[in-house]
Amino acid sequence: EVQLVESGGGLVQPGRSLRLSCAASGFTFEDYAMHWVRQAPGKGLEWVSGISWNNGIIDYTDSVKGRFTISRDNAKNSLYLQMNSLREEDTAFYYCAKDRSSSVPSGPYDYWGQGTLVTVSS
Amino acid sequence: DIVMTQSPDSLAVSLGERATINCKSSQSVLYNSNNKNYLAWYQQKPGQPPKLLIYWASTRESGVPDRFTGSGSGTDFTLTISSLQAEDVAVYFCHQYHSFPQGTFGRGTRLEIK
C-alpha cells in the first residue's frame, strides 16, 4: 500500500523558515518524480514544486522561487521542502504527491499524503 | 501560464441523476506528438487529500467507478457522473499537466445533493 506521510508543519512568524518532510513507502520511491502541492484553508489547489527521480529536473511556481528548495533522499525514501522567508500568503496545507506517470515531474498525481498545515502569522 | 476555468462553482443534483462539470483551459493541453490531452480530474472530500479520478482526459484511474467519465479535447473538457450517489458529494478539480513540470488547477466545483 502506497503511503505518503508529511511532517514539519506548524505556526511560524513571517520571515522565518520551516522544513517539511514526506516519508514514502509502498512503492519504489527512486523510480518516480515527486511534487509538493498546497491548499490554503477552504481554497483551491496550487502546485508548488516538482523534482525528478535523480534531482536532475527541479521547478517551482513563481511565487516561491528563490525562497523554497525541494530535495529528495532516495536512500531514505524521503522528500523535503525547505521554506525560507515565509510570508502570510504561504499559509496552507502542504501535500506531498507522487507522480503517476514518470521519473520526471510531469503529472498527474496518483497518491497524496494527508497534508501538513503551515501557518505563517505574527 | 495556462489558466483553468471550471464551471459551475457549485452544483446540486438529485440522487441517481446526472452531474456534469466543465473545465476550459486558456490554451490547448493536447500534445500533437502523442495525441494525448494532459488533463486530469480529482475528487476531494472534506478533510481528505485529493483523489485522482481521470487522467489523459478520459482514462479512469484503477478502482474508480464507471459512473465517472471524462471527455473532451484541446481546451474543453467535461467530467460526468452518470448516476449520482451520496458518496460522490465532494469538490472536483480539473488539472492540466501540459506545462510540466508545472501544473495548474481549476478553482473547483462543489457537488451537493439536491
Q: How far is A29 from chain B (nearest CA, A)?
A: 18
Q: Which tens digit of pLDDT belongs to each residue from B38-92?
A: 999 999 999 999 999 999 999 999 999 999 999 999 999 999 999 999 999 999 9
CA dihedral (A3, A51, B92, B66) in degrees, to 10, reads -60
Along chain A (122 residues), what's the average pLDDT of each consecutive run of 10 residues?
A: 97 98 97 96 95 93 97 97 98 97 84 98 95
CB-CB neighbors (< 8 A) of B58 in chain A: none
Task: Kindly tell me if the per-residue pLDDT of B105 is higher than 80.
Answer: yes
Q: Are B49 and A112 inside 8 Å of each other by CB?
A: yes
Query: Cell numbers 452544483 correspond to what residue?
Result: B11
Q: Are A59 and B50 inside 8 Å of each other by CB?
A: no
